[in-house]
Structure 1
Amino acid sequence: MSYIIDIPNTIRDHLKEHIENIAKSEGFLKYKCDVQKKYKNGTNFLGEITEVEIIGETIIGAKEIHIFVKTKPSVGSNIKLLSINDVYSRELYAYKELSETYKQLQEEANVPYEERYTFIKCYEESNIDTIILEDIAKLGYENWNRLEIISIDFAHKCIKQLAKFHALSFVLEKEKLDYFNCNIKLLKYPFIFNDEYVAFLKNMYETCINHLEGEYRAKLESVRDICEKYYQFVNNSSVIRCLCHGDYRAMNIMMKYNNGEPSDVIPLDYQFIFYGSPVIDILYFIFGSTDSNFRREHLENLKKLYHETMEEFLDYFKMDINLYFPRKEFDKSYEESLEFGLMVAVWYLPVNLADSDEVLDLNKTSLAEASFSANERVKARLEDIIDDFTVWGVFKTDTTTDALPDTKCM
């Protein structure tokens, strides 16, 4: 069988080989490719993003497929706070192995298809250097705008998916304990608390402090030394733990609309998966994507939805949630980890809400040297969160500087 191939010469040789293999496995007899490198502001800083459209003829007629490729940086990386090889290995494992394991567990339990946790298609050609996925944007899915507050409908879908993702970790531990111990329990938090990371935390903290005034500034100054506590939260072995997503932000979850309402969501970006407290994912999602009005109206209901969804999902596997993550333990873990939400705001909102011309590119700039000017969006979100933490009793209502216990890591 002969193939007629039209692939641009501008793409890297290894990607060209992957495209050829995918085209053959998809039954193309002749085809051409449209290849576009993407530089999406604020959406990825761990590699090069390429979108590929393959259009051609098969034995049964015309066909086209769309793939999304994430490739390791082609030049030396400035990233020192994590291992690029490690995070690509984690994502490859999630898409190629864990997805199949979770699919099998759900099939064996007869979970209705519409209730299952799903991953997007990952092509067999994916390896530790290149992750090749189906481009579901061409199927009508889209990213949430990272600068906007999420809608309650979107939040409902995302929280339910997160509950199922965490529940499947408990299922895996019960059904395949040896596998779980060898593959999941060993996944430590991927970020390395070295000098660069500490410098980044200091930098973000000072950026936020300098943009606040009056009581807001005084309250944030009262928690200056919280780096060590951050490390304790993500490495806490005294709480119930499971496989966590590690980067559960609205912009890492694609949604599909039906009649103007979100009808389906699919989480992406599993490069930071780790074994830790499931509450960390919840706090990261809530405090990275909502404001005070949203939390006041919906937070308690979302917590309830999370736990009820997990309970219902575990029922398919004949598992009693009270033996794995009872509501009392969930609430206790949430309350004890609440300060992590403040840390998310201080250290990541300046990055996530940066103006387009300030989006961080770690392939060009060291994290320790990165600079941001906290804009009005960041200021408003920070003030909202400080107000909430005052109501919740984390901050005192005055401006004294003993609101949280000291930890010394800087």
Structure 2
Amino acid sequence: MSLDVHLDEPDDFNCVELHNSLQNVALAKGIQDFEYNVDCISGKRANYIANVFRVEINETDSDDHSISVIIKTLVNTERQVLYHKLHEREVIAYQKVISKFKDIQNVLYEHERLELSDCLYSNTENSREIIILEDLTTKGYDVDGKLAKYENLGIKEIGVVLAELAKFHALSFVFQCKEPMVVKEINTEFHDLLYQNHFLNKTKLRDYFFESFEMSLKLVTDEDAREKLGSVKSKLLQLLQMYVKPSKTSVFCHGDCWVNNMLFKHEAGKVCFIDFQAMRYANPVTDIMYFLYICTDSTFRSEHFDLLTTIYYDNLKVFLNKFDVKADDVYKREDFDADIEEFKPYGLLVAMVELRIVTMAAEDESIFKGSRLDLSIEPVDEPKDNELLKVRVNDVVKEAVDNGALDILMEKINNI
């Protein structure tokens, strides 16, 4: 076996662990003797918690037997200990949820299935954290080209995401119907991680949430709305915790559902969700609101919101029917509509915190690229030239005033 590595910083990962892990994958694929090439996809900058590599494994003396995989390892710094829980959550997600979703779909034709990556190998031991996944670019999936240009996705792409997200949530409902005791046993392992004190106390995310909220708050021009939102800040985490806890209707949610955690296959109208570090057992509308309030603007939502929620629910209903599960038995349309209204304030909170990232100027790619979880951001002042952030914040606040979400949020504060 030989190693051909193309890395600027080869010390970023444990070469021995990488080598041994790839040997396990190669043997599982029937490759006894091989050489491999490693290319770094991300992780060279200090703000990442994970290195991501694409590795091509080639059987020695054969041009016909090769496989391509994606490898994620925690960055070899003090943050490796801090973010061990995120790595562990993703591994458990693949082992106990994603693998089950793939099994459930075996009764369907391939073109009907939601695409989900295979987890080929993982290790959660301290200082040896690694996860090896199927490389879906070999199946024609890739990052949407608009992301590289910092362009918004259109109605077609947004509709496709919601249709595929409906399938993701539908598989959770099917899982619950088929194996209720198993779901009951494992859902406690998927309570929210990101907003919980035991995790926030070890990371900089607590500061990040408050600093981002304050940055957005300073940009609000409506004085009455700014005053109301000012009273939210001290209870920001309690509100976020309240919205993402298990509710009457809960499924395994992605938890970090925005376009940087998706791969697209446009010609087939397909989306594959990736990066399950934040998977949580919560109301499915949390994923919908998170996606729509981060990845679309207020004008887009005002024009298409009802259509998009209908696209989601219709696809949920159709996909459930393929497994002989009736939508009315697991999630009635009236309950879904009520949840949409109930969780609009969550969309506002998410926007106030996360628009800082998605509106960041292209030259600030060290912050923009990668999962929003991959952060070690030092406190920064409001970017003077980020007019887009100011526009997006004021638009979403006006939207919250008009649709009553801000008033609902004020009522929630009084009950905490």
* Range class of TM-score, shorter chain: 0.7 to 0.9
Q: Which residue of 2 aligns with 1:47?
A: 50
2:269 counterpart SS class: strand
- Say if 1:31 and 1:54, in contact at 8 Å, map to a contact too: yes
Code of the residue aligned with 1:208 in structure 2: it is S
Deviation (angstroms), 1:27: 4.1
Amino acid at match of 2:73: T
Relative to structure 1, the CA distance from residue 247 to residue 14 in structure 2 (aligned partners, 3 Å threshold; closer, same or farther) is same
Instruction: Give 1:183 shift.
Output: 0.9
CA 1:236 to 1:265, structure 2 compared with 1: closer, same or farther past 3 Å? closer
Task: Report the Cα distance in structure 2 between the residues aligned to 1:363 and 1:292, rounded to whole angstroms.
Answer: 24
Give 1:193-232 correspondences, 5 Å limit: 193=197, 194=200, 197-212=205-220, 214-215=221-222, 218-226=224-232, 227=236, 228-232=238-242
The structure 2 residue matched to 1:75, chosen from 74, 77, 99, is 77
Letter of the 1:91 partner, please give it: E
Of residues 336, 350, 357, the one that matches 2:356 is 350
What value does the CA root-mean-square deviation take over the aligned residues?
A: 3.1
Read off the aligned partner of 2:88 and give its amino acid letter: S
Percent sequence identity is 24
What does 1:224-303 align with in structure 2 at a 5 Å threshold?
224-226=230-232, 227=236, 228-235=238-245, 237=247, 239-258=248-267, 263-303=269-309
Per the alignment, residue 333 of structure 1 pairs with 339
CA contact (8 A) 1:253 1:267 kept: yes
Partner of 1:134: 134
Report the counterpart of residue 84 of structure 2 in structure 1.
85
Q: Give the conservation status (yes or no) of the 8 Å contact 1:79–1:363.
A: no
- Count the aligned residue pairs: 387
The corresponding residue for 1:399 is none
Cα distance in 1 for partners of 2:71, 2:37 equals: 13
- Between 320-329 and 192-201, report the one with greater CA deviation: 192-201
The amino acid of 1:315's aligned partner reads N
1:162 equivalent in alignment to 2:165: yes
Instruction: Give the structure with the higher percent helix.
Output: 2
Change (3 A) 1:7 1:159: same
Q: Distance in 2 between matches of 1:139 and 1:317?
A: 26
Check 1:372–1:65 CA distance in 2 against 1; reply closer, same or farther (3 A cut).
Answer: farther
The answer as to 2:199 corresponding to 1:188 is no
TM-score (norm 2): 0.83
**Cα separation, partners in 2 of 1:138 and 1:41, compared to 1, 3 Å:** farther
Q: Which residue does the alignment assign to 1:118?
A: 115
Cα 1:406–1:91 change in 2 (3 A) is closer
- Residues 122 and 130, structure 2, Cα contact 8 Å, conserved in 1: yes
Measured at CA, do residues 53 and 157 of structure 1 come closer, stay the same or move farther in structure 2, by a change above 3 Å? same
Give the aligned partner of residue 153 of structure 1. Answer: 156
* Residue matched to 1:306: 312
Per the alignment, do residues 297 and 382 of structure 1 end up closer, same or farther by CA in structure 2, a change over 3 Å counting?
same
Change (3 A) 1:143 1:78: same
Q: For residues 133 and 366 of structure 1, do their structure 2 counterparts lie closer, same or farther at Cα, with a shift above 3 Å needed?
A: closer
**Residue 101 in structure 1 maps to residue 110 in structure 2:** no
Change (3 A) 1:22 1:383: same
Q: Distance in 2 between matches of 1:298 and 1:219?
A: 25
Letter in 2 for 1:113: E
1:173 shift after superposition = 1.3
Q: Distance in 1 between matches of 2:219 and 2:172?
A: 41
Paired with 1:126 and 1:353, the residues of 2 have a C-alpha distance of: 34
Which residue matches 1:316?
Answer: 322
Q: TM-score, normalised by structure 1?
A: 0.84
- Judge conservation of contact 1:287–1:345 (CA < 8 Å) in 2: yes
1:391 lines up with 2:402 in the alignment: yes
Cα distance in 2 for residues equivalent to 1:268 and 1:53: 20
Change (3 A) 1:41 1:267: farther
SS of corresponding position for 1:141:
coil
CA contact (8 A) 1:248 1:285 kept: yes
Structure 2: give runs of 5+ residues left out of the alignment.
Answer: none
